[in-house]
Chain A
Amino acid sequence: MIELTAGFMPLTDCAILIIAKEQGFAEAEGISLDLVRESSWANMRDRLSIGQFDIAHSLAPMPLAANLGLTPFDAKLIAPMALGLGGNAITVSNTVFDAMRVAGAFSITDAAAAGSALGAVVNERAGVQGKRLQFGVVHPFSVHNYELRYWLSASGIRPDIDVDIVVLPPQLMADALAAGQVDGYCVGEPWNSVAVARNVAKIVTVKAAIWSSSPEKVLAMRETWAGENRDVVGRLLSSLYAAAQWCADAENSPVLAEILARREYLNQDVTLLEPALTGSILSGAKLGNDLPFFEPYARAATFPWQSHALWLYTQMVRWGHVVHEAGNIKIAAESFRPDIYRESLSASGAAVPTANSKVEGALAEMTAVGVSARTLFLGPDGFFDRKVFDPDEIEVYISAQK
């Protein structure tokens, strides 16, 4: 039995890691997972980089940030697997929600309508002292930050000019909102449902409505460690793939919620985890092709698309986190390692995409694609503003968003 130490943050999207341990998938591959709960992404990055963790539940942009030299350590990080698609939401205070309702009708799965309602509220408040809205995100290099900014911009709201965006730890979001320190936030579950249950806020839209089938958390590890432990990485990915499949089975949702709720994991009331895991967070509204709020397995949900990494890179450039130069494209793309994923899972008969990248936003509907062994369904993968990201035209995309 090989012992691996894995860091995780108490969020529902750490489900695959926890289930790999709790349902015996890791053990079946000869791996004993030691799960360590972390309190900040900065700690996660530090402890992974210096080798106290072998693997980590990671924000998707974290390996890019490390490899682009934006973090304190030299260690190169890679993501050979994603830990699911979707799973975030945007939540606003009751006051902002009521004002949005007056401005225009919208449903939780219609990000465009929600965005234009928010735009009207921002306009009303423009220039009024103390009325500028403030939104929270969990980390500057997070999908939360980039998708919130994308949604605001495409809705005609300029981040940092029309509204402020601040960083707050997820577990303090609901308190900050209740205390009026922020007017809304973009965060993973259960922190949207927590504020809703406390009656201080409402969810206005979800990640899957802003960008369908979009990345969120990944499995991160040091590149050197992965190189020295290829066999272990292969077995680890097989076990996580099996765990993802287990998590996706609706019959397992009650057990999944019960396990995640435990004191050593999320330490939350089980009823606060159910909305994300059963999909009831959507309150009956539908996403295209019944895309779930959080997809742990289907639609190649664990495949580390390099086009996802590259889109995140375009947003890092857009918001001034990194200055664009041609050489960065390769660094960003290779932070995600579909080759390792394929090598680890192909033999098992898993349906693995043959391409490393896809045109994001090309699939308006769920589509069957030819893969190595079986049929695989992908998408829909569109952005709510109908823009398309073609990784082969990344320079054009970057210039167009300035």
Chain B
Amino acid sequence: MSDRLPSVLIIDENAERASIIEAGLLAAGHSKVTIFDSVKGIAARIAALEPDVIVIDLENPNRDMLENIFQLTRAVKRPIAMFVDQSDAETMQSAIDAGVSAYVVDGLRQERVKNILDMAISRFNAYSRLERELEEARGALQGRKTIDQAKSLIMKSRGLDEDAAYKLLRKTAMNQNRKIVEIAENLVISAGLLGGLDD
């Protein structure tokens, strides 16, 4: 094996996540990085590309098909040892937790593969975090809307101003040991059932 950095193929139907990994690998000096975001005709494409390392997303239901292709390629003298260094249980655990796996050409130096996998793991985790934050932000926005709706319901039915309506919501939430947004949600739902929102 020469000293050049191994070529990496990323198979991920999530193109955005794939490009985040690609960026990380490029920044680390890996110039030969390819992304496949679909598995169409993949056997021929892998054979043409001859990657040293294949990084794949674990949620991909085509993983069984890909492993079969790797096995067939092994039959035509392209040995691919599956997964990364088996003795490194910790890396394996974190790879599976992150949802990523790597397939490696036999004979590749382990520390190089480990760098690539570590990079993929951290980028997968970063992506999940990003998604989670986005989801939370969406939830917060939705929550604010619900609270506004609940406030206006209270203002209408009790003849209170906005500040007093909010205080009533907050007091109820504190008394019941629940979140304001939950109280607001219940109020909006029951008002909907009773036709309060249609007035």
Interface residues of A (CB under 8 A from B): 39-43, 46-47, 50, 52, 71-74, 138-140, 166-169, 171-172
Q: With contacts A72-B83, A72-B86 known, is A40 near B96, CB below 8 A?
A: no
**Would you list which residues of chain B between 34 and 55 have a CB under 8 Å from chain A?**
none
Q: Which residues of A contact B101 (CB under 8 A)?
A: 42, 46
Residue pair A40, B63 in contact (C-beta under 8 Å):
yes
How many angstroms between the C-alpha atoms of A73 and B87 in the bound complex? 10
Q: With contacts A46-B101, A47-B96 known, is A169 near B62, CB below 8 A?
A: yes
Minimal Cβ-Cβ distance residue in B for A145: B68
Residue pair B65, A168 in contact (C-beta under 8 Å):
yes
Could you list 23 A-B pairs, sorted by A, with CB under 8 Å? A39-B58, A39-B59, A40-B64, A42-B63, A42-B64, A43-B63, A46-B101, A47-B96, A50-B89, A50-B92, A52-B93, A71-B82, A72-B81, A72-B82, A72-B83, A72-B86, A73-B86, A140-B68, A166-B68, A167-B64, A167-B69, A169-B64, A169-B65
| A-B pairs, 8 with minimum CB distance | A169-B61, A167-B68, A40-B63, A72-B82, A72-B83, A42-B63, A167-B65, A39-B61
Kindly state whether residue B149 has any CB partner on chain A within 8 Å: no
How many angstroms between the C-alpha atoms of A42 and B64 in the bound complex? 6
B141 to chain A, nearest CB (A): 26
Q: Which residues of B contact A43 (CB under 8 A)?
A: 58, 63
**Would you list which residues of chain B between 1 and 31 have a CB under 8 Å from chain A?**
none
B74 to chain A, nearest CB (A): 11
Q: Which residues of B contact A171 (CB under 8 A)?
A: 61
A157 to chain B, nearest CB (A): 20
How many angstroms between the C-alpha atoms of A39 and B101 in the bound complex? 14
Residue pair B93, A139 in contact (C-beta under 8 Å):
no
Q: Which of A52, A71, A140 touches B96 (beta carbons < 8 Å)?
A: A52
Kindly state whether residue B125 has any CB partner on chain A within 8 Å: no
Q: Which residues of B contact A139 (CB under 8 A)?
A: 64, 68
Number of A-B contacts (CB under 8 A): 58
Minimal Cβ-Cβ distance residue in A for B97: A52
Residue pair A46, B96 in contact (C-beta under 8 Å):
yes
How many angstroms between the C-alpha atoms of A172 and B92 in the bound complex? 28
B58 to chain A, nearest CB (A): 6
Interface size class, chain B: 20 to 34
Residue pair A74, B86 in contact (C-beta under 8 Å):
yes
How many angstroms between the C-alpha atoms of A138 and B69 in the bound complex? 13
How many angstroms between the C-alpha atoms of A202 and B89 in the bound complex? 46
A40-B62, A46-B83, A167-B65 known, 8 other contacts, Cβ within 8 Å: A39-B60, A43-B63, A50-B93, A71-B82, A72-B81, A138-B64, A169-B64, A172-B61
Q: Which residues of B contact A46 (CB under 8 A)?
A: 83, 92, 96, 101
A11 to chain B, nearest CB (A): 13
A33 to chain B, nearest CB (A): 21
Minimal Cβ-Cβ distance residue in B for A59: B64
Residue pair B82, A50 in contact (C-beta under 8 Å):
no
B75 to chain A, nearest CB (A): 8
B17 to chain A, nearest CB (A): 16
How many angstroms between the C-alpha atoms of A139 and B69 in the bound complex? 11
Minimal Cβ-Cβ distance residue in A for B43: A166
Which of B58, B60, B64, B96 has most A Cβ within 10 Å? B64
How many angstroms between the C-alpha atoms of A177 and B59 in the bound complex? 23
Minimal Cβ-Cβ distance residue in B for A139: B64
Q: Which residues of A contact B71 (CB under 8 A)?
A: 140
A47 to chain B, nearest CB (A): 6
Minimal Cβ-Cβ distance residue in A for B56: A42
Residue pair A41, B86 in contact (C-beta under 8 Å):
no
Residue pair A50, B64 in contact (C-beta under 8 Å):
no
Residue pair A42, B67 in contact (C-beta under 8 Å):
yes
How many angstroms between the C-alpha atoms of A93 and B53 in the bound complex? 37
How many angstroms between the C-alpha atoms of A47 and B92 in the bound complex? 10
